[in-house]
């Protein structure tokens, strides 16, 4: 598994939906964007900015319930990506037992932040989330490189 951190929350410029961006803890180039709901995004941003709500909101309530029952969120794991939907698990340590609870990634991330628990992603999820680059044959690649590097002087040479 790859440990991730919350890099930030942004808006998709097309759909205006919030995106939480996870970044590999040890590699700034490995990013995982996950589209989430507005309320979940707001809760993540509030927690990142350490803004205390006047009354417990959903995730503060969940944290309190887990703690009152003697548990702690040990970690969360984003386990799968199927049909454009991410899947996650919340691992709750309760005594010597670990409870694994199915979760949406946005909810799991919110809990991880409140418990200061690590966020992990299965390597297969990162692989599935990559946008494939179009294949180029060697000839097209050379032509593209030539076009990118051509200078105005090169046009004059061909006309003489």
pTM of this prediction exceeds 0.95? no
| Domain hosting residue 95, numbered range | 2-135
- The verdict on residue 157 lying in a domain is no
* Contact present, 15 and 7 (Cβ < 8 Å): no
| 145, part of any domain | no
Q: Are 88 and 103 in contact (CB under 8 A)?
A: yes
Q: Within 13 Å of residue 14, how many CA atoms lie on the same side as its CB?
A: 1
User: Model confidence over 14-25: pLDDT tens digits?
Assistant: 888 999 999 999
Is 156 part of a structural domain of the chain? Answer: no
- Among residues of the chain, what percentage have pLDDT more than 70? 81
147 lies in some domain: no
For residue 160, tell me if it sits in a domain.
no
Q: Kindly report, residue by residue over 29-83, the tens digit of the pLDDT.
A: 889 999 999 999 999 999 999 999 899 999 999 999 999 999 999 999 999 999 9
């Amino acid at each position: 598994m790859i440990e991730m951190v919350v890099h930030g929350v942004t808006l998709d410029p097309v759909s205006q939906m919030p995106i939480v961006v996870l970044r590999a803890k040890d590699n700034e180039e490995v990013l995982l964007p996950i589209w989430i709901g507005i309320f979940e995004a707001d809760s993540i941003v509030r927690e990142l900015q350490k803004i205390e709500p006047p009354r417990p909101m959903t995730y503060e309530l969940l944290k309190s319930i887990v703690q009152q029952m003697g548990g702690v969120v040990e970690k969360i794991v984003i386990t799968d990506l199927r049909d454009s939907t991410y899947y996650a698990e919340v691992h709750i340590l309760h005594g010597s037992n670990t409870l694994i609870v199915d979760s949406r990634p946005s909810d799991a991330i919110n809990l991880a932040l409140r418990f200061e628990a690590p966020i992990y992603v299965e390597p297969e999820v990162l692989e599935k989330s990559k946008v494939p680059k179009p294949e180029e044959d060697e000839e097209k690649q050379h032509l593209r490189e030539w076009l990118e590097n051509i200078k105005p002087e090169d046009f004059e040479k061909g006309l003489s």
